[in-house]
Amino acid sequence: METSEEPTQKRTLTTADPHDRTRDRSVDVLRGLTCFAMILVNTAAPIHPGWLAHPGDMRDPITFADTLFPCFLFTSGLASTHFRSSTHPVGRNEGYARIKRTCIRALKLSLIGIAYHNLIPRLTGFHPHSILDFSTYRFPSVLGRIGISSVVCALEPCLDIPPPILPGILALVWHVIAGLRPLTPLHHSSQAWLDRVVFGTAHLHQPDPGFDPEGLLASLLTVPISALLGTYLAAPLRRMHSVSLINPLGIAQLLALGILGSSLTGLLPSPASKLLWTPTYVAQTAATSVLYWSFSTALVSFETPLTRPLISALEILGQRSLEIYLISASASFSLQKFGSWDALAHLITRLLISTGLANHHHQRDLAVGVARSSLLGLAMIPVAKCLMHFGWKI
């Protein structure tokens, strides 16, 4: 959600200095870690470890890949808590103005998401339909989901809704609407029905039978809860440590909260579903997000000369995580189009064979996929730094 800082403060928040104290460094590091992991998930295919893959069935337990996007939303809640704690309460007129700006940004994200899902695959030859065949364009998108959920989250501070009333209402409404139809098979669910009514079957990720994992019902109701939970969990911890979480007690509290949440939600095994973004899935991924946050906080709090370059690199990625998500995916498509992606895999394979590592064929393919995607992620660090230098952001 965009803010209305004074010009001098806004320039400070967009500076390329990764050690800018007006930002919460642990949040930037967490965003950087999430961004790098998302690059691995999106580009390590076709052969990748199971923890980098999304389950194909609602009954399958969630994987590491399933926890990344909720963690991205969770960090937006952490960041909004940091901003709220450093500014005065907004008036009603200013609240409406912020909602308007958030709606404009949501529309922009939705349009970029449509372009990302449709133009790039068609331009690079990975989609069979023409670029002018608008009747087959997919409308729901990850970026659109971020935009829609940000508008819903903006209602709480802008309308001065006491927490946790809003997420309670959202969860209840989801249960009522989702309960009107069976959850399985997925194309019979309320989410699929709503998407077919709003977008049309041809504009979904799976036109036949008619389902999209970035469906509108979850984007409006349960996805915002993931961000709001970040706000609620961060607020009391920030009050206990007014400057920052730099002592072992604060980190222990975070770690214990994450472990407790993981245990209480029955993380393993799990009936939760990312495909429908069920409330159980929200609770479980909130717990894993706290675990990841405790790790990033510990990394920043106990910074050493050895870890400083890693932290700085992650901060840079984190300050432009959304842009890097798009650029890395586009770069992967382009490299595949020109054959460079396969050439890089061949070079890594030859290196592994020459060093005697990963002699088993399947293990070698897994290592090649992860290594190739990791190189792409590392290449995104100077790209993010360039974006920060020129002040470019979505």
Mean pLDDT per block of 10 residues along the chain (394 residues) reads 37 40 82 95 83 79 91 89 53 78 94 92 83 92 95 90 88 91 91 96 91 95 93 71 58 70 57 83 90 93 94 95 92 89 91 76 84 95 95 86
**Of the candidates 76, 50, 75, which has an alpha carbon nearest to the alpha carbon of residue 65?**
50
Q: How far apart are CA 217 and CA 195, in angstroms?
A: 8
Give the distance, in angstroms, between the CA of residue 364 and the centroid of all CA atoms in the same chain: 29
67 and 40 in contact (C-beta within 8 Å)?
Answer: no
> Which of 261, 286, 302 is the last residue before a domain boundary?
302
Q: What local confidence, expressed as pLDDT, does residue 238 receive? A: 61
Q: Residue 363, CB half-sphere, CA atoms under 13 Å: how many?
A: 7
pTM, whole model, 2 decimals? 0.82
Same-domain pairing of 144 and 293: yes
The structure tokens listed for 145 are 């989901």
Overall number of domains in the chain: 2
**Of the candidates 275, 150, 171, which has an alpha carbon nearest to the alpha carbon of residue 224?**
150
- DSSP state, 51? G
Q: Using CA of residue 48, residue 279, residue 220, residue 3, what is the dihedral sign?
A: negative
> Which of 302, 327, 349 is the last residue before a domain boundary?
302
Same-domain pairing of 279 and 355: no
The structure tokens listed for 324 are 């890097």
Q: 344: part of which helix (H) or strand (E)? A: helix 340-355
Same-domain pairing of 73 and 144: yes
Using only C-alpha atoms, what is the Rg of the chain?
A: 21
Same-domain pairing of 340 and 378: yes
Same-domain pairing of 44 and 180: no
Same-domain pairing of 167 and 177: yes
Q: What local confidence, expressed as pLDDT, does residue 81 receive? A: 63
Degrees to nearest 5, angle at CA 124 with 123 and 130: 40
Same-domain pairing of 251 and 329: no
Same-domain pairing of 308 and 298: no
Q: What local confidence, expressed as pLDDT, does residue 331 receive? A: 92
Name the residue range of residue 85's domain.
62-302
Q: How far apart are CA 375 and CA 380, in angstroms?
A: 9
Q: What local confidence, expressed as pLDDT, does residue 381 receive? A: 96
Same-domain pairing of 243 and 309: no
Same-domain pairing of 47 and 71: no
- The amino acid that residue 250 corresponds to is G
Q: What local confidence, expressed as pLDDT, does residue 15 receive? A: 37
> At residue 291, what are phi and psi to the nearest 5 degrees?
-60, -45
**Of the candidates 242, 239, 258, which has an alpha carbon nearest to the alpha carbon of residue 298?**
258
**What SS3 state is found at 58?**
coil
Q: What local confidence, expressed as pLDDT, does residue 263 receive? A: 56
Same-domain pairing of 228 and 249: yes
Q: What local confidence, expressed as pLDDT, does residue 53 receive? A: 86
Q: How far apart are CA 365 and CA 47, in angstroms?
A: 6
Same-domain pairing of 215 and 290: yes
> Which of 302, 324, 349 is the last residue before a domain boundary?
302
- DSSP state, 186? G
Q: What local confidence, expressed as pLDDT, does residue 40 receive? A: 93
